[in-house]
């Protein structure tokens, strides 16, 4: 099966050649301590309590929806929306055994099938990096939020993506090739501005940096081999240079010197009550 390029493929998982690659990627990320920690912190920042109705936008396989459902029981409900019918199908199957108060729907964040003021809380996690016009998506999330409700977004700032290497220029080329493939590579740093433009108040920012010290793990998360291949195909680097660079990274792992880091931001804002 061909390697899926995750940064672009998440825009249209249903159109992908190997959908399992996207399911596996989300399952892997969800198992990593850094991800578990920021996700758990995000539920606390949302001040979830029993009886609330919560929207998880771009829910993927539904892990966050399930964990939030445990916090809004009894009486509450989580709705997970995702553009991919394949993701929604998987998420629904998982809830057949869990039987949590969660409903999964296929839909586009930029045109949500809900009345205004339907949700006490909205959460969106690593989705805005993949979609055009993120401001429109944020405005739509604010529309469906109740007055005084909270919106939380977590997203990456790909301008901070950094791989340790002695081959500085070559590494910069690989970093740029991967980061520029995202629709919104700077969304993490732009979130607070977008929240204020959308009229949200009490905006708070929590930032974190994930660090991976194993090349094979980093390759799974950041598609490093496929990125080198892409850089070769568009003549940014030669094939031998690419091979040497990958060998250097593998050697760095063996020597305990491999490091790739990325900073991301969690931003929370409150919808104002009408004056």
Ligand X SMILES: C[S@@+](CC[C@H](N)C(=O)[O-])C[C@H]1O[C@@H](n2cnc3c(N)ncnc32)[C@H](O)[C@@H]1O
| Contacting positions for ligand X (CB under 6 A) | 10-11, 13, 26, 58-60, 64, 82-84, 87, 108-110, 125-127, 130-131
Minimum CB distance to ligand X, residue 116 (Å): 18
Minimum CB distance to ligand X, residue 119 (Å): 15
> CA-to-CA distance for 67 and 40, rounded, in angstroms?
9
Minimum CB distance to ligand X, residue 2 (Å): 19
Nearer to ligand X, 131 or 267 (CB): 131
Minimum CB distance to ligand X, residue 243 (Å): 29
Beta strand 145-163 pairing with 119-125: parallel
Minimum CB distance to ligand X, residue 27 (Å): 9
Is residue 223 a contact partner of residue 6, using CB atoms and an 8 Å limit? yes
> CA-to-CA distance for 31 and 15, rounded, in angstroms?
26
Nearer to ligand X, 123 or 230 (CB): 123
Is residue 149 a contact partner of residue 140, using CB atoms and an 8 Å limit? no
Nearer to ligand X, 26 or 228 (CB): 26
To 5 degrees, how large is the angle CA 138–CA 142–CA 144? Answer: 120
Is residue 128 a contact partner of residue 157, using CB atoms and an 8 Å limit? no
Nearer to ligand X, 58 or 76 (CB): 58
What letter does residue 83 receive in the DSSP assignment? S
DSSP 3-state of 11: coil
Is residue 135 a contact partner of residue 242, using CB atoms and an 8 Å limit? no
Minimum CB distance to ligand X, residue 227 (Å): 17
The 77-82 sheet, strands edge to edge: 102-106, 77-82, 53-57, 119-125, 145-163, 260-270, 201-212
Q: Which residue is nearest to ligand X (CB)?
A: 60
Nearer to ligand X, 62 or 242 (CB): 62
Nearer to ligand X, 132 or 244 (CB): 132
């Amino acid at each position: 099966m061909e390697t899926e390029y995750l940064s672009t493929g998440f825009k249209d998982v249903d159109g992908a050649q190997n959908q399992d690659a996207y399911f596996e990627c989300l399952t892997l990320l969800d198992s990593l301590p850094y991800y578990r920690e920021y996700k758990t912190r995000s539920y606390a920042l949302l001040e979830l309590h029993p009886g609330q109705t919560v929207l998880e936008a771009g829910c993927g396989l539904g892990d966050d929806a399930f964990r939030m459902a445990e916090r809004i029981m009894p009486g509450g409900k989580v709705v997970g929306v995702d553009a991919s019918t394949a993701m929604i199908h998987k998420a629904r199957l998982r809830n057949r055994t869990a039987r949590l108060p969660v409903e999964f729907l296929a839909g586009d964040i930029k045109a949500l099938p809900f009345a205004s003021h339907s949700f006490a809380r909205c959460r969106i996690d690593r989705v805005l990096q993949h979609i055009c016009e993120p401001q429109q998506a944020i405005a739509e999330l604010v529309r469906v939020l109740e007055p005084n409700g909270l919106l939380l977004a977590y997203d990456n700032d790909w301008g901070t993506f950094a791989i340790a290497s002695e081959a500085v220029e070559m590494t910069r080329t690989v970093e740029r090739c991967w980061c520029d493939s995202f629709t919104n590579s700077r969304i993490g740093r732009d979130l607070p501005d977008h929240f204020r433009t959308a009229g949200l108040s009490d905006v708070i920012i929590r930032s974190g940096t994930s660090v991976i010290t194993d090349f094979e793990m980093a390759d799974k998360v950041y598609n490093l081999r496929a990125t080198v291949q892409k850089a070769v195909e568009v003549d940014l680097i030669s094939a031998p240079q690419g091979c040497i660079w990958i060998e250097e990274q593998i050697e760095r792992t063996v020597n305990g010197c491999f490091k790739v880091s990325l900073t991301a931001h969690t931003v929370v804002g409150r919808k104002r009550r009408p004056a």
